[in-house]
Amino acid sequence: MSRKPKTGTAIRRNRYKTRPEARCALWLARHPGFLATPAAVTASVLELGPVTTGSLAASTLVAGLGWYRAHPESFTRIASPRLRSARRRWTRYIGQSWRSTLDFCDLTVDDRRTGEVLVPRLLKVASPTPSIDVVTVAIRKGQSVETFRNAQAELASALGADAISIEKAKPRVLTVTLVFGNPFEDVIPPADIPGDPSEVDLAAIELGDTEYGAVWTEPLAGQHWLISGGTGSGKGSLLWNPLRAMGPMIRDRVARISMIDPKGGMETERGRPLFFDYATSADDETEYDNGDGDEVVDPMLAVLFRFRDRMRERQEQLREDGLRKFTASAGTPFEVLMIDELMMLTALSGRRTVSEVNRVLAEILTQGRAAGYAVIAYVQEPAKDIVPVRDLFTRRISLRTGAASFVDMVLGEGARDRGALADEIPETGCEGIGYRTSETSRQPIRVRAGYSTDDDIDELVRLCTPADEPPADSNVYPIAA
Ligand SMILES: Nc1ncnc2c1ncn2[C@@H]1O[C@H](COP(=O)(O)OP(=O)(O)OP(=O)(O)O)[C@@H](O)[C@H]1O
């Protein structure tokens, strides 16, 4: 493409201009596969013959197909991102198209000595999920992260992306993260309520869909979840879905839910009959036996303290029985503490100090897992000074957040650069959409929670309110947690 020199820039003789042959050699040096692949095929045909080479190629293809059929989950996790990255590299970001995209966005540089147009160089394309591309770019002299950020709306539009983030990876190297489209056009129905406790899988609690169209599940046994999201981001969906997924365990008293709602019970009151222990900020102070007699405390702190006390008793019991792990049953239920705004709880003061609340929470988070005590906490602002126990949660989900910095605080260092643009999720029409990092890789995956209407909550209460007495045969469903 020919470009006019910028006004006032004198072009000197082209004696430093890179020759085409040198550029070609450089390009080949950076893309060794371009020559190595045909060379390897030719060598194989010459050495092994065309039939053997063809058979080898066919076997590789068949092995790939077999892998996909036999174990789609591992294929999607391991092979698909690599194949997709290569395809995108050679289609979406192919040389001339990359060059003209940057040129249109004024992100190329004119070399004043040679008059050459210098294009920021594409170092790597990674497409970890179908809708996320992470492009590593070596910028040119005279450019900075700000040069790119100033043109980021144009760049997103030129590449057809819905959201973009540009960060400095190292000196003169940027990471451009692009999110394409919304894989969740429709609202997703809530999790099914299993018929029987034996059908509940505490290692895979159903929450909604992943962007691959698969069911999104998270393990709860032996885990604690931290769910972050701004106001109206859909945190409520992640409160009702786990309850639905555990429904029959709650009904048969094999699971117990303690609910702390510092938002006055607006969200949780409807499910009141499901909860073994419950308090909201609208309740009056209550008495709590701290071992040295009764004291008057905030009712929500009383729920927290009682949960901690039961955990200690269970630990004691396990020690006496010589067990290191428990099995959930009506006699020893799996216990879950849900806190509908962790920030408001940890900010509670009064007779008990903030630091004491955090100490009790830390005790539960560090010691509860083996004893069958799990915590699910919801938070709008995950900053460490507000939620000091943040790092003790083992599973993290970020719905739409109010600030870019919240994403890494919840999902871990670098999660936003790897594609979790939770702060770019639109405010309307995308409730329940967010990102989670997987247990096997730090790569964020886009997810959408199933949505429970009031009728769905009423159905849950109707079907799963705990019986006065556990059914006589409930111990025949011991669930390892
Ligand atoms: N999974 C979902 N799918 C579609 N829409 C949803 C979903 N979850 C929530 N919504 C919609 O978003 C609204 C707000 O959701 P919700 O009350 O759960 O937000 P929140 O994060 O709990 O907000 P706050 O912190 O202010 O209580 C709901 O009334 C509902 O209309």
Q: Which two tokens stand for residue 172?
A: 């003169």
Give the H/E segment covering residue 179.
strand 173-179
Q: Based on the domain organization, do 173 and 203 belong to the same domain?
A: no
* CATH number of the domain to which 169 belongs: 3.30.980
Structural domain contains residue 201: yes
Q: Express each pLDDT in 215-236 by its tens digit.
A: 999 999 999 999 999 999 999 9
* CATH number of the domain to which 454 belongs: 3.40.50.300
Q: Based on the domain organization, do 412 and 372 belong to the same domain?
A: yes
The one-character DSSP state at 452 is -
Q: Based on the domain organization, do 171 and 108 belong to the same domain?
A: yes
DSSP, collapsed to helix, strand or coil, labels residue 226 as strand
Residues of the chain with pLDDT below 50 are 1-14, 476, 481
Atom 8 in ligand 1: residue holding the nearest Cα: 234
Q: Based on the domain organization, do 333 and 461 belong to the same domain?
A: yes
The one-character DSSP state at 468 is S
* 2 among annotated binding-site residues: no
Structural domain contains residue 119: yes
pLDDT reported for residue 350? 55
379 Cα to the center of ligand 1, angstroms = 14
267 Cα to the center of ligand 1, angstroms = 10
pLDDT reported for residue 405? 92
Taking the C-alpha atoms of residue 336 and residue 220, their distance in angstroms, rounded to an integer, is 9
pLDDT reported for residue 216? 94
Q: Based on the domain organization, do 42 and 172 belong to the same domain?
A: no
Structural domain contains residue 67: no
pLDDT reported for residue 187? 92
Taking the C-alpha atoms of residue 148 and residue 154, their distance in angstroms, rounded to an integer, is 10
Taking the C-alpha atoms of residue 461 and residue 474, their distance in angstroms, rounded to an integer, is 19
Q: Based on the domain organization, do 153 and 206 belong to the same domain?
A: no
Q: In the chain, how many domains are there? A: 3
Report the residue count for the chain.
481
pLDDT reported for residue 9? 43
Q: Based on the domain organization, do 237 and 93 belong to the same domain?
A: no
419 lines ligand 1 (CB under 6 A): no
For a substitution probing ligand 1, which of 187, 446, 451 has the most ligand atoms within 8 Å of its CB?
451
Q: Express each pLDDT in 386-427 by its tens digit.
A: 788 888 999 999 999 989 999 999 998 888 988 899 999 998
pLDDT reported for residue 13? 46
Taking the C-alpha atoms of residue 295 and residue 126, their distance in angstroms, rounded to an integer, is 58
Beta bridge partners of 336: 257, 374
Q: Based on the domain organization, do 202 and 320 belong to the same domain?
A: yes
Q: Based on the domain organization, do 151 and 282 belong to the same domain?
A: no
- Strand 433-437 to strand 117-118: parallel, antiparallel, or no bridges (unpaired)? unpaired
Structural domain contains residue 313: yes
pLDDT reported for residue 12? 45
Q: Based on the domain organization, do 173 and 37 belong to the same domain?
A: no
pLDDT reported for residue 346? 74
Structural domain contains residue 440: yes
pLDDT reported for residue 3? 46
Burial readout 153-176 (b: 16 or more C-beta within 10 A, e: otherwise)? eebbebbebbbbbbebbeeebbbb
Q: Based on the domain organization, do 169 and 202 belong to the same domain?
A: no
pLDDT reported for residue 35? 72
Q: Please, what sign has the CA dihedral across residues 72, 75, 81, 87? A: negative
Structural domain contains residue 63: no
pLDDT reported for residue 273? 95
Q: Measured between alpha carbons, how far apart are the two ends of the chain, in Å?
A: 64
229 Cα to the center of ligand 1, angstroms = 10
Domain that holds residue 269: 197-480
Structural domain contains residue 266: yes
Structural domain contains residue 61: no
The pTM score is: 0.78
CB 436 within 8 A of CB 423: no
Q: Based on the domain organization, do 124 and 220 belong to the same domain?
A: no
Q: Express each pLDDT in 327-343 by its tens digit.
A: 888 888 999 999 998 88
Quote the radius of gyration of the chain (alpha carbons, Å).
Answer: 28
447 Cα to the center of ligand 1, angstroms = 15
pLDDT reported for residue 476? 46
Give residue 2's Cα distance to chain centre. 45
234 lines ligand 1 (CB under 6 A): yes
